Amino acid sequence: MKTLYVIKIGGNVIDNSANLHAFLEVFSALEGSKILVHGGGKMATQLSKTLGIEPKMVDGRRITDIETLRVVTMVYAGLINKNIVAQLQLHHCNAIGLTGADGNLVRAQKRPVKEIDYGYVGDLHETSVASKKLGALLEEQLVPVFSAITHDGNGQLLNTNADTVASAIAVAMSADYETSLVYCFEKKGVLADVNDDASLLAEIRSGDFEALKSEGIVADGMIPKLHNAFEAIKNGVKDVYIGKAGDLAELATQSFGTRLLS
Protein backbone atom coordinates (compact mmCIF):
# COMPACT_ATOMS: atom_id res chain seq x y z
CA MET A 1 0.00 0.00 0.00
CA LYS A 2 1.34 3.46 -0.91
CA THR A 3 2.14 5.95 1.83
CA LEU A 4 0.44 9.33 2.17
CA TYR A 5 1.03 12.31 4.45
CA VAL A 6 -1.90 14.62 5.26
CA ILE A 7 -0.29 17.68 6.81
CA LYS A 8 -2.13 20.56 8.47
CA ILE A 9 -0.54 23.95 9.16
CA GLY A 10 -2.10 26.51 11.44
CA GLY A 11 -2.27 30.26 11.57
CA ASN A 12 0.96 30.62 13.52
CA VAL A 13 2.86 29.41 10.43
CA ILE A 14 0.78 31.38 7.94
CA ASP A 15 1.07 34.63 9.92
CA ASN A 16 4.88 34.64 9.66
CA SER A 17 6.08 34.80 6.07
CA ALA A 18 9.62 33.60 6.89
CA ASN A 19 8.28 30.58 8.79
CA LEU A 20 5.85 29.82 5.98
CA HIS A 21 8.58 30.00 3.31
CA ALA A 22 10.82 27.68 5.33
CA PHE A 23 7.99 25.22 5.99
CA LEU A 24 6.92 25.04 2.34
CA GLU A 25 10.50 24.41 1.20
CA VAL A 26 10.74 21.40 3.52
CA PHE A 27 7.20 20.25 2.64
CA SER A 28 8.13 20.34 -1.06
CA ALA A 29 11.11 18.07 -0.41
CA LEU A 30 9.05 15.38 1.35
CA GLU A 31 9.02 12.28 -0.81
CA GLY A 32 5.85 10.45 -1.75
CA SER A 33 2.19 11.46 -1.88
CA LYS A 34 1.10 14.36 0.29
CA ILE A 35 -1.84 16.65 0.91
CA LEU A 36 -1.64 20.03 2.66
CA VAL A 37 -4.53 21.55 4.65
CA HIS A 38 -4.23 25.11 5.96
CA GLY A 39 -6.13 27.39 8.28
CA GLY A 40 -6.42 31.14 8.00
CA GLY A 41 -4.47 32.83 10.75
CA LYS A 42 -5.07 36.44 11.72
CA MET A 43 -5.51 37.73 8.17
CA ALA A 44 -9.29 37.15 8.06
CA THR A 45 -9.73 38.96 11.37
CA GLN A 46 -7.62 41.89 10.16
CA LEU A 47 -9.53 42.19 6.88
CA SER A 48 -12.87 41.93 8.68
CA LYS A 49 -11.96 44.89 10.89
CA THR A 50 -10.72 46.87 7.89
CA LEU A 51 -14.12 46.33 6.23
CA GLY A 52 -15.96 47.33 9.41
CA ILE A 53 -17.07 43.76 10.25
CA GLU A 54 -16.37 43.02 13.92
CA PRO A 55 -15.27 39.37 14.31
CA LYS A 56 -17.38 37.34 16.74
CA MET A 57 -15.76 34.44 18.62
CA VAL A 58 -17.23 31.99 21.13
CA ASP A 59 -14.77 29.73 22.99
CA GLY A 60 -12.19 30.33 20.28
CA ARG A 61 -14.60 29.44 17.45
CA ARG A 62 -15.52 31.99 14.80
CA ILE A 63 -19.18 32.85 14.33
CA THR A 64 -19.57 32.90 10.53
CA ASP A 65 -22.39 35.17 9.42
CA ILE A 66 -22.81 35.85 5.71
CA GLU A 67 -20.44 38.86 5.71
CA THR A 68 -17.79 36.90 7.59
CA LEU A 69 -18.20 33.96 5.20
CA ARG A 70 -17.39 36.29 2.30
CA VAL A 71 -14.26 37.50 4.07
CA VAL A 72 -12.94 34.06 5.07
CA THR A 73 -13.61 32.72 1.57
CA MET A 74 -11.63 35.60 0.02
CA VAL A 75 -8.76 35.16 2.48
CA TYR A 76 -8.59 31.39 2.98
CA ALA A 77 -9.55 30.10 -0.47
CA GLY A 78 -8.11 33.10 -2.30
CA LEU A 79 -5.11 34.99 -0.98
CA ILE A 80 -3.63 32.41 1.40
CA ASN A 81 -4.34 29.33 -0.71
CA LYS A 82 -2.96 30.77 -3.93
CA ASN A 83 0.08 32.25 -2.19
CA ILE A 84 0.91 28.78 -0.81
CA VAL A 85 0.39 27.15 -4.20
CA ALA A 86 2.63 29.72 -5.93
CA GLN A 87 5.40 29.19 -3.37
CA LEU A 88 5.18 25.41 -3.76
CA GLN A 89 5.53 25.82 -7.52
CA LEU A 90 8.70 27.84 -6.81
CA HIS A 91 10.07 24.69 -5.15
CA HIS A 92 9.01 22.48 -8.09
CA CYS A 93 6.11 20.98 -6.12
CA ASN A 94 3.17 20.75 -8.53
CA ALA A 95 0.42 21.92 -6.17
CA ILE A 96 -3.25 22.49 -6.93
CA GLY A 97 -5.26 24.81 -4.69
CA LEU A 98 -8.71 23.57 -3.67
CA THR A 99 -11.79 24.15 -1.59
CA GLY A 100 -14.19 21.36 -0.72
CA ALA A 101 -16.48 22.60 -3.49
CA ASP A 102 -13.89 21.95 -6.21
CA GLY A 103 -14.61 18.56 -7.74
CA ASN A 104 -17.15 18.05 -4.93
CA LEU A 105 -14.16 16.80 -2.91
CA VAL A 106 -15.35 17.71 0.60
CA ARG A 107 -19.07 18.10 1.22
CA ALA A 108 -20.25 19.29 4.62
CA GLN A 109 -23.56 20.01 6.30
CA LYS A 110 -24.42 23.29 8.02
CA ARG A 111 -24.03 23.02 11.76
CA PRO A 112 -27.46 22.84 13.44
CA VAL A 113 -28.46 25.74 15.68
CA LYS A 114 -28.46 24.68 19.34
CA GLU A 115 -27.40 26.92 22.24
CA ILE A 116 -25.24 28.89 19.78
CA ASP A 117 -25.87 29.73 16.14
CA TYR A 118 -22.44 29.42 14.51
CA GLY A 119 -23.82 30.59 11.18
CA TYR A 120 -22.34 29.24 7.95
CA VAL A 121 -20.11 26.64 9.61
CA GLY A 122 -19.80 23.16 8.10
CA ASP A 123 -19.65 19.85 9.97
CA LEU A 124 -18.23 16.77 8.28
CA HIS A 125 -19.45 13.17 8.26
CA GLU A 126 -17.98 9.82 7.24
CA THR A 127 -18.92 10.21 3.56
CA SER A 128 -17.82 13.88 3.24
CA VAL A 129 -14.56 13.25 1.37
CA ALA A 130 -14.56 11.98 -2.25
CA SER A 131 -11.48 9.82 -1.70
CA LYS A 132 -11.38 8.22 -5.17
CA LYS A 133 -11.37 11.61 -6.92
CA LEU A 134 -8.72 12.87 -4.53
CA GLY A 135 -6.68 9.73 -5.16
CA ALA A 136 -6.87 10.41 -8.89
CA LEU A 137 -5.19 13.81 -8.34
CA LEU A 138 -2.43 12.12 -6.36
CA GLU A 139 -1.95 9.57 -9.14
CA GLU A 140 -1.37 12.49 -11.51
CA GLN A 141 1.53 13.58 -9.24
CA LEU A 142 -0.42 16.64 -8.09
CA VAL A 143 -0.22 17.91 -4.51
CA PRO A 144 -3.66 19.06 -3.28
CA VAL A 145 -3.65 22.15 -1.05
CA PHE A 146 -6.97 22.57 0.77
CA SER A 147 -8.30 25.67 2.42
CA ALA A 148 -10.90 24.95 5.09
CA ILE A 149 -13.82 26.12 2.94
CA THR A 150 -16.32 23.37 2.12
CA HIS A 151 -19.81 23.29 0.59
CA ASP A 152 -23.17 21.62 1.22
CA GLY A 153 -23.96 20.43 -2.32
CA ASN A 154 -26.79 22.97 -2.60
CA GLY A 155 -24.71 25.96 -3.64
CA GLN A 156 -23.73 27.12 -0.17
CA LEU A 157 -20.10 27.53 0.90
CA LEU A 158 -19.30 26.74 4.55
CA ASN A 159 -16.43 27.60 6.90
CA THR A 160 -15.04 24.40 8.44
CA ASN A 161 -12.42 23.74 11.11
CA ALA A 162 -9.10 22.98 9.37
CA ASP A 163 -8.07 20.32 11.93
CA THR A 164 -11.34 18.53 11.21
CA VAL A 165 -10.86 18.77 7.43
CA ALA A 166 -7.37 17.26 7.72
CA SER A 167 -8.60 14.43 9.93
CA ALA A 168 -11.56 13.63 7.65
CA ILE A 169 -9.29 13.53 4.58
CA ALA A 170 -6.77 11.28 6.36
CA VAL A 171 -9.47 8.83 7.48
CA ALA A 172 -11.08 8.71 4.03
CA MET A 173 -7.75 8.17 2.24
CA SER A 174 -6.64 5.41 4.64
CA ALA A 175 -8.71 2.86 2.72
CA ASP A 176 -6.25 3.11 -0.18
CA TYR A 177 -3.10 4.56 1.41
CA GLU A 178 -1.02 3.97 4.52
CA THR A 179 -1.86 7.40 5.86
CA SER A 180 -0.08 9.54 8.45
CA LEU A 181 -1.83 12.66 9.75
CA VAL A 182 0.52 15.49 10.77
CA TYR A 183 -0.49 18.57 12.78
CA CYS A 184 2.08 21.37 12.67
CA PHE A 185 1.96 24.17 15.22
CA GLU A 186 4.34 26.31 17.33
CA LYS A 187 5.41 23.77 19.98
CA LYS A 188 7.81 20.83 19.67
CA GLY A 189 4.87 18.45 20.27
CA VAL A 190 3.01 17.30 23.37
CA LEU A 191 5.03 18.53 26.34
CA ALA A 192 4.99 17.25 29.92
CA ASP A 193 5.71 20.89 30.87
CA VAL A 194 4.18 23.31 28.39
CA ASN A 195 7.01 25.81 29.05
CA ASP A 196 9.84 23.32 28.53
CA ASP A 197 10.59 22.01 25.02
CA ALA A 198 12.94 19.45 26.56
CA SER A 199 9.92 17.73 28.17
CA LEU A 200 8.66 16.43 24.81
CA LEU A 201 6.69 13.18 24.95
CA ALA A 202 8.09 11.36 21.91
CA GLU A 203 5.28 8.79 21.78
CA ILE A 204 1.77 8.43 23.23
CA ARG A 205 -0.44 5.38 22.86
CA SER A 206 -4.21 5.51 23.16
CA GLY A 207 -4.06 3.61 26.46
CA ASP A 208 -1.93 6.43 27.97
CA PHE A 209 -4.40 9.20 27.10
CA GLU A 210 -6.70 9.02 30.16
CA ALA A 211 -3.76 8.87 32.59
CA LEU A 212 -2.10 11.88 30.97
CA LYS A 213 -5.36 13.83 31.27
CA SER A 214 -5.87 12.89 34.92
CA GLU A 215 -2.28 13.91 35.74
CA GLY A 216 -2.85 17.28 34.04
CA ILE A 217 -0.03 16.66 31.56
CA VAL A 218 -2.49 16.84 28.68
CA ALA A 219 -4.81 19.78 29.32
CA ASP A 220 -6.79 22.62 27.77
CA GLY A 221 -6.75 22.76 23.96
CA MET A 222 -4.52 19.70 23.66
CA ILE A 223 -7.31 17.44 24.98
CA PRO A 224 -9.64 17.77 21.94
CA LYS A 225 -6.63 17.68 19.58
CA LEU A 226 -5.48 14.32 21.00
CA HIS A 227 -9.02 12.99 21.24
CA ASN A 228 -9.53 13.70 17.52
CA ALA A 229 -6.12 12.20 16.74
CA PHE A 230 -6.92 8.90 18.45
CA GLU A 231 -10.34 8.84 16.75
CA ALA A 232 -8.55 9.14 13.41
CA ILE A 233 -6.25 6.22 14.32
CA LYS A 234 -9.26 4.18 15.41
CA ASN A 235 -10.79 4.82 11.99
CA GLY A 236 -7.88 3.64 9.87
CA VAL A 237 -5.15 6.29 10.01
CA LYS A 238 -1.76 4.64 10.64
CA ASP A 239 -0.43 7.28 13.05
CA VAL A 240 -0.69 10.96 13.96
CA TYR A 241 2.18 13.37 14.56
CA ILE A 242 1.94 16.67 16.45
CA GLY A 243 4.97 18.92 16.26
CA LYS A 244 6.67 22.16 15.32
CA ALA A 245 6.32 23.26 11.71
CA GLY A 246 10.00 24.16 11.55
CA ASP A 247 10.97 20.59 12.43
CA LEU A 248 9.04 18.95 9.59
CA ALA A 249 12.22 17.56 7.97
CA GLU A 250 12.47 15.14 10.92
CA LEU A 251 9.33 13.40 9.67
CA ALA A 252 11.47 11.39 7.24
CA THR A 253 13.14 9.63 10.20
CA GLN A 254 9.95 9.38 12.29
CA SER A 255 11.53 11.61 14.92
CA PHE A 256 9.17 14.56 14.41
CA GLY A 257 7.38 15.87 17.48
CA THR A 258 5.03 13.51 19.30
CA ARG A 259 3.89 10.36 17.54
CA LEU A 260 0.46 9.04 18.50
CA LEU A 261 -0.22 5.33 18.05
CA SER A 262 -3.10 2.97 18.71
Contacts (Cβ under 8 Å, ≥6 apart) of 25: 91
Using alpha carbons, list the distances in angstroms from residue 134 to 34, 109, 157, 214: 11, 20, 19, 40
| Residue 59 backbone zone (phi > 0: left; psi -120 to 50: alpha; other: beta) | left
Residue 62 known to bind ligand: yes
Residue 159 known to bind ligand: yes
- Residue 214 in contact with residue 182, Cβ under 8 Å? no
Q: Locate all alpha helices (DSSP H) within the chain, ordered by sequence.
A: 11-14, 17-29, 43-50, 66-72, 81-90, 131-139, 162-173, 209-214, 222-234
Binding residues for substrate: 40-41, 62, 159
Binding residues: 40-41, 62, 159
